[in-house]
Amino acid sequence: MASPRPHVAAPDAAGRRVRLADGAGGGSEEARLLGRIAAGDEAALVALYARVGGAVYATCLRIVGDPDDAQDATAEAFWRFWTRSDRFDPRLCSATAWILTVTRRIALDARRSRTRHGAALTRFGRELDTAAGSPEERALDRHDVADVFARLAPGDRALLEAAYFEGLSGAEISTRDAVALGTVKSRLRAAMARLRIAWGRREP
């Protein structure tokens, strides 16, 4: 099986696009920064914000839908990186994956909390279109991960985004889509396999 090594252009805290060189293991810059953060190095946290703040904020914005709530969730995520970076285990995933997994859970919690308080999710789902820029803008960088996603089948893309951003359980997806849980799992597996192939083809 080909091992994907993400080299992902994501917006940094200053709005530029940065390259997140990362792979499973602790050798990336993000992994080194997490190590320094675990030792109490605030400068490393600032550097991490500069590198992945844009990706973290984009994830929060996509999940919670509201820019103010997304900022709150982003702040909470970086607080979590500060207090819990010692829990990052490079054997389990890359630093980027750990950072975004933590972010996703915080944002999903924030959205559930807001839902419990009765706020309508009126803007959920619209932010992606607003934030993603025009197709022409994204097409400027053929090596962008967004381009890989654009080339996925719409059904695969929708399934992966729903699974990642909506935070529904398998049973909930099964009910919503009126398919068996096993079908949900096999569709996810197939979509991930096709994403792996698309990502692998993208690499030189």
Partner 1 sequence: MSDARILPLRADCEATRAALAALVFDVLPSDEASRIGAHLEACAACRADAARERDLASLVPLALDAPPPPPEVLARVLSRIHRGRRFGWPRRAWVARAAVVAVLVGFFALTRHAVTLEWSLDSPDVAVINLFAAIDSPISSRYEYAAEPVLRFDRSVGRLMVNTRTDEWRLVVHGLPRPPRGGHYVLTGTFGDKEVSLGRIERWEEGVATLSGQSDFDLLAMKRLSLELVTPQTRVRLLDAVDGAW
**Residues in region 122-181 near partner 1 by CB under 8 A:** 127-128, 131-133, 138, 145-146, 148-149, 160-161, 163-165, 167-171, 173, 181
Contact flag: residue 65 with partner 1 (CB under 8 A):
no
Judged by beta carbon, residue 49 or residue 204, the one nearer partner 1 is 49
Find, among 122, 141, 121, the residue nearest to 133 by Cα: 141
User: According to CB under 8 A, which one of 75, 84, 123, 124 is a site residue for partner 1?
Assistant: 75
| Residue 55 CB-half CA count within 13 A | 23
User: According to CB under 8 A, which one of 34, 53, 102, 111 is a site residue for partner 1?
Assistant: 53
The answer to whether 100 touches 54, Cβ cutoff 8 Å, is: no
Provide, rounded to whole angstroms, the least separation between the CB of residue 165 and partner 1: 8
Find, among 90, 129, 124, the residue nearest to 107 by Cα: 124
The answer to whether 18 touches 10, Cβ cutoff 8 Å, is: yes
The answer to whether 64 touches 114, Cβ cutoff 8 Å, is: yes
| C-alpha distances in Å from residue 55, one per residue of 12, 98, 115, 138, 188 | 7, 13, 24, 15, 23
Provide, rounded to whole angstroms, the least separation between the CB of residue 122 and partner 1: 18
Provide, rounded to whole angstroms, the least separation between the CB of residue 203 and partner 1: 12
Task: Check residue 19 and report its DSSP letter.
Answer: E
User: According to CB under 8 A, which one of 86, 87, 112, 113 is a site residue for partner 1?
Assistant: 113
The amino acid at residue 92 is L
Contact flag: residue 189 with partner 1 (CB under 8 A):
yes
Site for partner 1 in 76-105 (CB under 8 A): 76, 78-79, 82, 91-94, 96-97, 100-101, 103-104
Judged by beta carbon, residue 32 or residue 128, the one nearer partner 1 is 128
Site for partner 1 in 9-48 (CB under 8 A): 10-15, 20, 22-24, 39-43, 45-47
